[in-house]
Structure 1
Amino acid sequence: MLSTRCLSRATPRVPLPPQFTRNLTRHSRPLPRARARAAPHPYTQRFVRSVVTVTILVGTGATWQWLNGNKVLGEVYAEEPPPTPSEEQTLKFEQQRRQALSEEDNRSIISSQHVQVQKSWENPGVYAWGSNSGRVVAPDSQETYIKTPRRIPFFDNVLLRDIKLDRNFGAAIDERGDLLQWGAAFSNDTTQPTKTLQGKNLTSLAISRDRIIALSKSGDVYSLPVSQEEQLTGPKPPATSSWIPFWGSPSNNISYRIRTPQNLSRGEKVTSISSGLEHALMLTSAGRVFSFASGSQDYPRKGQLGIPGLTWESRPAGAFDAPHEILTLRGFPIQHIATGDYHSLVSDSSGRAFSFGDNSSGQLGFEFDADALHIDAPSLLPTQRLYAGSAQQAAVTNVFAGGNTSFLTIEAAKPNPTAPATRTNRVQADTWAFGFGLTGQLGTGRWTHTQSTPVKVPTFSGLFEYDEHNNSVIPIRLAYMSIGTTHAAAVLDNVASVAVSPTTGKRGNALTPNDTNWGRDIVFWGNNEFYQLGTGKRSNAPTPTYINPLDQKAEDERAASVLGSGSGNSVKAKREREMHRFQITPKQRVRVPALGRSVDMEQKVECGRGVTAVYSAV
């Protein structure tokens, strides 16, 4: 017999002719008895004959099906016939995790973070992602975007002191202190990083729109063009003397300028540099701040130099990029400096913060004023007002900036009158953001065009953790932030464990098979137009978010090895992979097998203009 489903498909509903429908409507009232016995309407006869015909066809089909062993030709059934017992699959269950082969293997099984830390020590290098239009994140590839972290083969087993990236050029300082450059803006004919400024023992970098600012260990500041052609054809510095005859510096063939301030006191030197698109700041060991024009296309004109009244027309005689001390900051021992595209922030040892430059998006922390878009003198930020009514005393601990956004890290605590003057109640560590946030780069979970009043970033504010080593609850601070033009990353200073190895115990205690390494939490947020967040997707993220481990292929292999083979493991492996996240390795002295020696190294993150990198730093 045909099933109900088959019968319904074999007997389609026959629509009534419109004339018959109108006839029914016209005679909807009861007819007189004499008329009710009259001959049926012609359309009624046709409908009855149609129903009888269809019924006969269905009956014939059912009989044919029964005579042929319930086999149906064509597409009568909507689903496959039930399988025979011999075709039924045997149920398979997820296999248990495989047995560990050693204590170290057991740590790898129970902790993805342990594997990440170990691999960062065993395979130092650079992971990069984002825009590849200038062949920066993947110099040997013509791909437009690198959607997830990918290693740059040139830097395999290479340790760096610093790295800075733009969509069109990249710059790095190797372990010896030499400058490496690559990218389309450097040279269209060069596909690998090339040494340029050498023999200066460089320690850190900053980049403007078209120049590179480099700081040496001795405190000298160098400014050189990004373009290789300009380096080779531009004016060369005077030849440096050497006690070895006929031995000159290889950098004498490179065009560069020395921008070290001339009026430093005895023993004073530049300790930190930071650059925007057109300006740069220099911080000295005495807490003084100098500024100068770091680009060659446009002279800073939005007050970001911090010198009231300084313009291209009013600049003093001499080089256009001569350093100028920001005299307004004298008497405030500055500890930290930061620069955005066209604005600057500084903070001193007493917990005060100052800002100056462009305020068109509220990135200085002051109310937007259409008649005064720029502030050319350092102005004190009213940070204590952020804690009004809480009886907490606030102190700025650091400043960060990039693009048109700014960030402050503040520690606040209530004074304890019953304790000594040097003691307070529990310290609360907060992060505040202000400026342009239309693509989520403020990290507050909102899409804000202009945020002139600092707003707290919930992800990094009011966090605490228990420190087992000190048996106390401590605030979770930020280790540092890296702010790109429209996206950012933050590394939390949470308690990490990087002392577990087969030969040494954990914090001096006996080593157990369940002791594992883990690093610091790192999150990304903001604009993702060029896949610079590393999520593999293009959607912006207004809230700080984790990404997958850098070496996803190795993570997949680890998960497959841990789970073994068998049905259902792919689903379980995916579920386990989603539980893991990238954790960045803090500084630790380790032996690097590829280098054959022990070094103090860590992983660092760098956000640039539409690009991001994580590198092994010394």
Structure 2
Amino acid sequence: MLATRTLRPAAKATRLLHPTPVAARSALHTPWRRLASNKSRKSGTSPNWIVNSLGVAVAGAAAYFGYSYVNGDFKGAWIESQTGGEKQVIDVNDLRAQFIQEKRSLKSPAVYIWGSNAYKVVDPGSNDKDIKTPRRFKYFNGQVLRDFKVDEKSGAAITESGDLIQWGKGFSETDFKPSKTLTGKNLKSVALSENRVIALSSDGSVFSLPISKEEQGTGPKPRESSWVPFWAGQSTLSYRLLKPSLGLGEKVTAVSAGQEHVLLLTSSGRVFTAAASTEHYPSLGQLGVSGLTWSTRAKGPVDACHEVTALKGSKVTQISTGDYHALALTKDGRVFAWGDNSFGQLGVEYEPELPYKDTPFALPLHKLYGRGKYSSTATNIAAGGAGSFFMVDAKRILGPEEEPKDVRDLNSVTADTWSCGRGIWGTLGTGRWIHLQDSPSKVKDLSGLAEYDEKKKQMSPIRLRYISVGTTHVAAVMDNKTSVSSETTESLDKSRDFGLDVLWWGGNEHFQLGTGKRTNLPRPSYIKAPSESKKDEPEARLQIMPQHKGKVGNRSVNMEQRVECGRHVSAIYSAV
């Protein structure tokens, strides 16, 4: 179940302050004498204290529920009791009423998915071409997953035990329901390219296998070693191992794939790239090696790994890929970009005579603020389709000829989000419909946000936990404080915590924004949480659960919910 919170009218991200507990509103009082006298005159009988008391009770209840209805709270006033079949009244002004669905979600880990269903990815059992609002994926009911990726044509998930699950007509035109494919490898994460699955195991091994079930069965199969000495056999599945040249004790820790290429990040902060397409060789500089093309590549496997040497000396902590470009974030807060720049997704001027850059370069983040009054440090990156996003901490410093006594906000930090690339569907989140944006533009609704920190007793900037970028749409998960108490807790069923705010924007041609409408959204917006009941429930905006302890069968598991945007598809899943 998705976490929810009561929807406030005209909820916006701009300058969002996280709500804090408030005392329940005082009961409405009506002068009982006036009620009694009116009752007596209307009925023509003498006043009676029992009748008067009943009149007061009825009028008070009517006034209370009338007030609640006007304020949008009436629909959640009655819920089924947890202990019996009787119903009990819940004070809709009590903060606990906002957590009812959160508590239910602890008992039912699930995957919610919506968007294009033309290839049976969203709901294999449905003939609907599009799924308009979040829908449970029945196969994953009661499961927590290590990773989950969706595309318009196929989906892939890593189970809690480390096995790969695939589905969709891109996987098989006839057997498109979820099926285990690569097993026994203790996989931890997965990425999807145009026609290959890139899976990373816990020991750092990187597997590249065809998305197609037919090709997995008919392609060349490698020999596999066994834990039994001198006992090796052939794999039942066609796949290749990507083998970067690693140092002693170094291993691959993260993978990210575009349409034709994949990035590998190692524990030493080095980055390797490789081709990740069965049909095409990367030709838009996305491998990050100057002059590397199909004709100039060295002899050997077509998917040989290449170190991005332009990043040597910079410890990379995060990687992200768009369809044909790539981003890397370093430990010291710099952002490097390379690959296709046809829509300005690299954040530098588009040059028609040179539409791509095959050598990584550092973005001049200091130019985003100018005048020498701010120091800028990137904290997060995200890429997808033909768009790029950078999250930047801007710290106020002394400018030229400024005196400390004259600067009231000295050393204060503002967290901003910037975007560039293709924005014709509103994908950049800036409120504009623009074909090409080759200079980073601030996403104002996700910038300059702050909330009061109960522990620090001060205002703190609200950063983004992460952004997931699809081909035409985007979702941002805010790193807002989920606890309304200064005391920490691990179990949400014993706490009074909120969920994490999620905002959506961009293209909605296949209902991938989950609004139930096809209207594109050029600015970050909330969407409604799906209802789990046929009965009327109070409207609530969709939120996701932060890290917490929940039940999976008879086990207690640390889990959280995560958001994933793919090509015209969106999903929220329970992750271990």
TM bin (shorter chain): 0.7 to 0.9
485 and 392 in structure 1: CA distance in 2 versus 1, 3 angstrom threshold: same
Give the alignment of 1:331-410 within 5 angstroms: 331-389=313-371, 391-410=373-392
536 and 348 in structure 1: CA distance in 2 versus 1, 3 angstrom threshold: same
Give how far 1:525 is off. 0.5
Aligned partner of 2:469 in structure 1 is 483
Structure-1 separation of matches of 2:105 and 2:91: 16
Structure-1 separation of matches of 2:104 and 2:417: 31
227 and 191 in structure 1: CA distance in 2 versus 1, 3 angstrom threshold: closer
Structure-1 separation of matches of 2:489 and 2:352: 61
Candidates 484, 505, 521, aligned match of 2:501:
521
549 and 152 in structure 1: CA distance in 2 versus 1, 3 angstrom threshold: same
Structure-2 separation of matches of 1:107 and 1:288: 55
- 2:271 corresponds to 1:285: no
* Percent identity between the two aligned chains: 46
Paired positions, count:
493
SS at match of 1:431: strand
Aligned partner of 1:44 in structure 2 is none
Structure-1 separation of matches of 2:98 and 2:526: 13
SS at match of 1:557: coil
* Equivalent position amino acid for 2:258 in 1: G
The answer on whether the counterparts of 2:223 and 2:233 sit within 8 Å (CA) in structure 1 is no
* Equivalent position amino acid for 1:582 in 2: L
Structure-1 separation of matches of 2:189 and 2:89: 38
Aligned partner of 2:243 in structure 1 is 260
359 and 213 in structure 1: CA distance in 2 versus 1, 3 angstrom threshold: same
Structure-1 separation of matches of 2:410 and 2:314: 25
Give how far 1:111 is off. 5.2
512 and 151 in structure 1: CA distance in 2 versus 1, 3 angstrom threshold: closer
Give the alignment of 1:43-442 within 5 angstroms: 96=65, 106=90, 110=95, 113-243=98-228, 252-261=235-244, 263-389=245-371, 391-415=373-397, 425-442=411-428
Structure-2 separation of matches of 1:507 and 1:349: 29
Structure-1 separation of matches of 2:206 and 2:496: 42
> Which deviations, in whole Å up to 9, do the C-alpha atoms of 1:274-297 show, x marking residues without a partner?
010001111111110000001111
102 and 146 in structure 1: CA distance in 2 versus 1, 3 angstrom threshold: closer
164 and 237 in structure 1: CA distance in 2 versus 1, 3 angstrom threshold: same
Give how far 1:403 is off. 0.4
Give the alignment of 1:533-612 within 5 angstroms: 533-550=513-530, 552-554=531-533, 557=535, 559=537, 576-577=538-539, 580-590=540-550, 592=551, 594-612=552-570
Q: Name which of structure 1's ranges 602-611 and 382-391 shifts more when overlaid on structure 2.
A: 382-391
Give how far 1:99 is off. 7.3
* Equivalent position amino acid for 1:294 in 2: A
- 2:461 corresponds to 1:464: no
* Equivalent position amino acid for 2:521 in 1: A
512 and 488 in structure 1: CA distance in 2 versus 1, 3 angstrom threshold: closer
> Which deviations, in whole Å up to 9, do the C-alpha atoms of 1:371-427 show, x marking residues without a partner?
1101110011111010102611001112110000000010011247979xxx97221
Give how far 1:544 is off. 0.7
Give how far 1:330 is off. 0.3
Give how far 1:498 is off. 9.0
Structure-2 separation of matches of 1:431 and 1:112: 33
Give how far 1:459 is off. 1.4
Aligned partner of 2:510 in structure 1 is 530
328 and 544 in structure 1: CA distance in 2 versus 1, 3 angstrom threshold: same
Give how far 1:369 is off. 0.8
SS at match of 1:582: strand
> Which deviations, in whole Å up to 9, do the C-alpha atoms of 1:185-225 show, x marking residues without a partner?
11122242100000111111111000000111111111000
Which structure is higher in helix share? 1
* Equivalent position amino acid for 1:585 in 2: M
Aligned partner of 1:49 in structure 2 is none
Aligned partner of 1:451 in structure 2 is 437
Task: Give the structure, 1 or 2, with the largest relative contact order (CA under 8 Å, sep 6 or more).
Answer: 2
Structure-2 separation of matches of 1:582 and 1:186: 31
* Equivalent position amino acid for 1:310 in 2: L
Structure-2 separation of matches of 1:371 and 1:359: 11
Structure-2 separation of matches of 1:348 and 1:508: 32
> Which deviations, in whole Å up to 9, do the C-alpha atoms of 1:75-126 show, x marking residues without a partner?
xxxxxxxxxxxxxxxx996873657868998488755651332232111010
Give how far 1:355 is off. 0.7
The answer on whether the counterparts of 2:225 and 2:232 sit within 8 Å (CA) in structure 1 is no
Structure-2 separation of matches of 1:356 and 1:527: 25
> Which deviations, in whole Å up to 9, do the C-alpha atoms of 1:452-481 show, x marking residues without a partner?
010000111111000113312110000001
SS at match of 1:384: helix
SS at match of 2:104: helix
Give how far 1:236 is off. 0.4
Structure with larger Rg: 1
The answer on whether the counterparts of 2:329 and 2:336 sit within 8 Å (CA) in structure 1 is yes
461 and 225 in structure 1: CA distance in 2 versus 1, 3 angstrom threshold: same
- 2:536 corresponds to 1:616: no
Structure-2 separation of matches of 1:169 and 1:93: 54
SS at match of 1:116: helix
Structure-1 separation of matches of 2:132 and 2:372: 44
Cα RMSD (Å) of the superposition? 2.8
Structure-2 separation of matches of 1:269 and 1:430: 33
SS at match of 2:366: helix
Give how far 1:347 is off. 1.4
SS at match of 2:480: coil
Structure-1 separation of matches of 2:484 and 2:450: 20
> Which deviations, in whole Å up to 9, do the C-alpha atoms of 1:113-168 show, x marking residues without a partner?
51332232111010100000000000111110100000011110011111111111
Structure-2 separation of matches of 1:341 and 1:99: 49
- What is the TM-score of this pair, normalised by structure 2? 0.81
Unaligned runs of 5+ in 2: 1-58, 66-73
111 and 581 in structure 1: CA distance in 2 versus 1, 3 angstrom threshold: farther
105 and 350 in structure 1: CA distance in 2 versus 1, 3 angstrom threshold: farther
The answer on whether the counterparts of 2:78 and 2:89 sit within 8 Å (CA) in structure 1 is no
* Equivalent position amino acid for 2:167 in 1: W
> Which deviations, in whole Å up to 9, do the C-alpha atoms of 1:503-556 show, x marking residues without a partner?
xx96479x999x733111001100000000000000100011111113x243x6
Give how far 1:595 is off. 1.2
Aligned partner of 1:54 in structure 2 is none
Unaligned runs of 5+ in 1: 1-90, 500-504, 560-575
Structure-1 separation of matches of 2:248 and 2:493: 54
The answer on whether the counterparts of 2:223 and 2:232 sit within 8 Å (CA) in structure 1 is no
The answer on whether the counterparts of 1:498 and 1:519 sit within 8 Å (CA) in structure 2 is no
The answer on whether the counterparts of 1:242 and 1:248 sit within 8 Å (CA) in structure 2 is no
> Which deviations, in whole Å up to 9, do the C-alpha atoms of 1:319-371 show, x marking residues without a partner?
01110001111001111111101111111111111111111100001111111
